Structure 1
Amino acid sequence: MEMLPEWMTHLEEEDVAFIKRFVLASGSLKEVAGVYGVTYPTVRLRLDRLIQKIKIAQEQTEQPYIALIKRLTVDEKIDLDTAKVLIRAYKKEGGAE
């Protein structure tokens, strides 16, 4: 059994399903919107959030705490202002170079 790329291990099952639909739709956001029964801007927002998650996953190995805070923000578990405060405090305490 092959291992998944590191960035994929941080994605939720619904994110992987979205990627699959996107690929099967040949990258057509309009077609994906039709499949999900939502508007184009809704699908675009979801894709943008997925892109952010993937970028954060790539940073995970270098700065795991900051990547966690960013991931919580993208998943809307914490707000942007709280994330900024946490990252700033972490850096101030010497947690990141």
Structure 2
Amino acid sequence: MAIEIIPEWMAALEEEDISFIKNFVLASGSLKEMAKHYGVTYPTVRLRLDKLIQKINISDDYAEEPYVALIKRMAVNDRLDFDTAKILISEYKKSKRGEKK
């Protein structure tokens, strides 16, 4: 019996993200093929890939700054606008600097 080890960055992804990654690999990384597969335009697939890259980068930040990662994840998932996210992160970091003094 094989022991499954799922990297943290992958465990943080939604099922549709994992499916997108699988299809991307099966399409040999071709965004053009992905666009055909999903019946959307190339820029739509590119945007989806960019959001997925952001999600993976955010999950890498999570261990160090879980609050900041949560705010970033909410912005990437369109649950919070980017300007508000920037303000929240900025204020959080200011408060953290104040604690260290």
TM-superposed CA distance for 1:94, in Å, is 1.2
In structure 1, distance between residues paired with 2:13 and 2:71: 15
Percent of aligned pairs with the same amino acid: 64
State the TM-score, normalized to the length of structure 2: 0.91
Q: Structure 2: state its 5+ residue gaps.
A: none
Q: 1:49 aligns with which of 39, 51, 55?
A: 51
In the alignment, which of 10, 14, 22 is matched to residue 12 of structure 1? 14
Cα offset for 1:72?
0.6
SS at match of 2:96: coil
> What is aligned with 1:29?
31
What is the rounded CA distance, in whole Å, between the counterparts of 1:3 and 1:71 in structure 2? 23
Q: CA RMSD in A?
A: 1.5
Q: Which amino acid aligns with 2:6?
A: L
- Deviation (angstroms), 1:3: 2.1
2:37 & 2:49 partners in 1: Cα distance? Answer: 15
Could you say which structure has the larger radius of gyration? Answer: 2
Q: Which runs of 5+ in 1 are unaligned?
A: none
Match of residue 73 from structure 1: 75
Q: What amino acid maps onto 1:55 in structure 2?
A: N
- Greater than 3 Å deviation, 4+ residue runs: none
